[in-house]
A = this chain, B = another copy of it.
């Protein structure tokens, strides 16, 4: 799961661990509240497997030795970083995805898309990279999700109706709000699916 997220982000751009974490937070939202303690080992695993590779940490296209009185912080940092290739003594380690990594990503994603875990986090992750899933599998995935949400909504509607009387206001309000949110999610999915079908039949 984490591996998939990392590969997906590295597919778009080269990043170092620290930055990767930030991206994970605001690209995958509340999902993947991953900590460094699991992120770095994951990167190490992927590197060992040849899926990613630490590359040179160059910053701003080599302004080689031009002294500037202004904000030269960046230039200096770049110089320091260049001292030793791929990694200064504890400098940034920028990772890039390898062809094997791309293949692994594809494999993990398609496997996940058809069948894998179906909790909210997992779905959010798949959706984030949905554009890399072949359309038929993508549509099936969206439909499975729709069915799951429909069932969930039905269940909570029932539980409100059944003993709506003796539930306290707080609980009922919560349940209703949750149902409403689920319903909106469903109609959003419907729009997505409709758009997909339209594209597919073109």
A residues sitting closer than 8 Å to B (CB atoms) are 26-27, 29-30, 33, 119-120, 127-128, 130-131, 152, 155-156, 159, 168, 170-171, 173-174, 177-178, 181, 184-185, 188, 192
Contact = CB atoms under 8 A, between A and B. Distances in A.
Contacts of A178: 29
B185 A152 contact: no
Given A119-B30, A130-B170, A131-B168, A188 B177 contact: yes
A195 to B, nearest CB: 9
24 contacts: A26-B155, A26-B156, A26-B159, A27-B159, A29-B152, A29-B156, A29-B178, A30-B119, A30-B120, A30-B152, A33-B119, A127-B174, A128-B171, A128-B174, A130-B170, A131-B168, A131-B170, A131-B171, A173-B192, A177-B188, A181-B181, A181-B184, A181-B185, A184-B184
- When all copies of this chain in the complex are counted, the total is 2
A130 B171 CA distance: 9
Contacts of A173: 192
A77 to B, nearest CB: 22
Given A29-B156, A29-B178, 5 more contacts: A30-B152, A128-B171, A131-B170, A173-B192, A177-B188
A192 B172 CA distance: 13
Contacts of A184: 181, 184
Nearest to A185: B181
A22 to B, nearest CB: 10
Counting chain B CB atoms within 10 Å of each CB, the highest count among A27, A30, A155, A192 belongs to A30
Nearest to A120: B30
Contacts of A185: 181
A119 B34 CA distance: 12
